[in-house]
Structure 1
Amino acid sequence: MEDLDDGGASFLDAETLAAHPQFASTLANGLAVLGCFGGGQTVLGNKDFAERLQLSRPTVSRLTFTLMGLGYLRRDRATGKYSLGPAVLSLGYPLLSQLTVRQIASPEMLELARHARGPVSIGTRDRLQVVYVETVQAYDSNATKPDIGSTRPFLRTAIGRALLASYSVPQRTALLRRLRETVPQEWAAFHAAAEQACTEIAQQDFCIVAGDWRPTLAAVAVPMRAPVGGMHLAFNLTVPAYATDRQHLQTDLGPRLVSLVRSIEYKLGLGDH
């Protein structure tokens, strides 16, 4: 079994993890209920949870009752459906506040966002997806800003491919194996491009993605060379596809983002400037 650290337990498939003697299934099911809101859904009922998680209605009822009592869910009396409660914010805030990289990077992120007229973001891995932990957008930038907490796929996005490149070869292999098993269609379409992006990052420190995530968007992304607080992080810059071309991404925005990330690493004491 792989070591139970950032490159271990979180890379295991669901069946292997559930079979581990330390696995707490009730806790996992409760967190899975909260995770159902991750796809942009704002209101869900017990039937929705039961169908999505393949759990019995009585089990779901106990979970939602408990989560509501603890403040993680709110129930609409008229519809009987649930939305996220304020305790979810209290749960996530300590993690964001500990990521001092957000405060350190913000001024330089804003400067680059103004230059590029597009949002500059920081993302990390949440299981088999990327989650944004910070986004800075200039007053005159475009409308592509991702919210903190929003998620993106690994294989189709610049920030996902950059995060892949941040892991050691064994960890990356384990993560790619899980992606192949979990999202086979996306794997078939984009795994070669994702692996090529890792090669690009090794050669020039950044990768470019244009149209693979959304046809109207282009992006460059750069991984940090060392984890921050145990978390692998990557930065990306997104602009409308009509406002750029490959040469602009290659010769201007990519190198500028690399410079930003290296500056942040230096300020955090992670490497030479």
Structure 2
Amino acid sequence: MVTAPSLDAPVLSSKWDGLSPHLLAHFFEVDNDNGAWKRTSKTDPATVVAPLTEASMEASLNWQSPFEQSGPESKAPALMAMLQSGVLQPIVEAASMGGTGADGAAAQKKSGDFLKQFEGRTGITLLNSTQVFNGMQPVKFQVVAVFRAWSDPVKEVEEPVAKLMEWALPAELSKDGSVLARLAKTVKGDMAYVEALMPSRAPVRIAMQYKGRTYFPLVIENIGQPLNAPVDRSGRFVEQLIPMTLCTLTALDRGIWANFKTAAL
């Protein structure tokens, strides 16, 4: 369970006096502590607070029909389409016009009656149209966070935006690109094997509290910053609308979804 942001922790936000707290989203870093995602002594103590002008969630569930190719339409699609639509009947009638007399007319009528049986019919059945669940992608949140300055552009706009960007970017990228050089250091005892194989540190995971729900753990998949936003005479941004795509770390089940509502605020 995600613990609530501490009252003593630094809050990076614009001034939103009088605005309902349910309209303010709280973003803060969380870490996996023995299977429980929460704030720890290792996580960033800061909390970014902002209202959201846009906020939506999308869950893509992958359902497939594995038997849809088992019908006759998949074996001879052109022939089955001609039979079902009745296009084949004039062709057969034209080909059988060479026959004369009562026998020819009877044969033509018999073939026509036979072909009419296929019109309006299909090879789709309950079995070959049955869908099966084939997995799902992590759930995505599309949000736009608003920051605007009343008195201090640095504290009300630039610092919270910079913190979101810090959480989105890798914590550290290794300057040494040679695996052999790092392995040589491990032989000398100057570097651990884990650091040699994976020398860089990935971006952190965060939580978002919004309208009585806590979504965690999330990663910032996309983040934007409008550089044409208004600035003051010192070139500091006085307003920023930050679009972000937040993504759950894993796919969700019922238990995880229910925990979003019951997690401590």
Determine which structure has the larger helix proportion and give its number: 1
Same fold (TM > 0.5): no
Determine which structure has the larger strand proportion and give its number: 2
Higher relative contact order, structure no. (Cα contacts within 8 Å, ≥ 6 residues apart): 2
State TM-score, norm by structure 2: 0.22
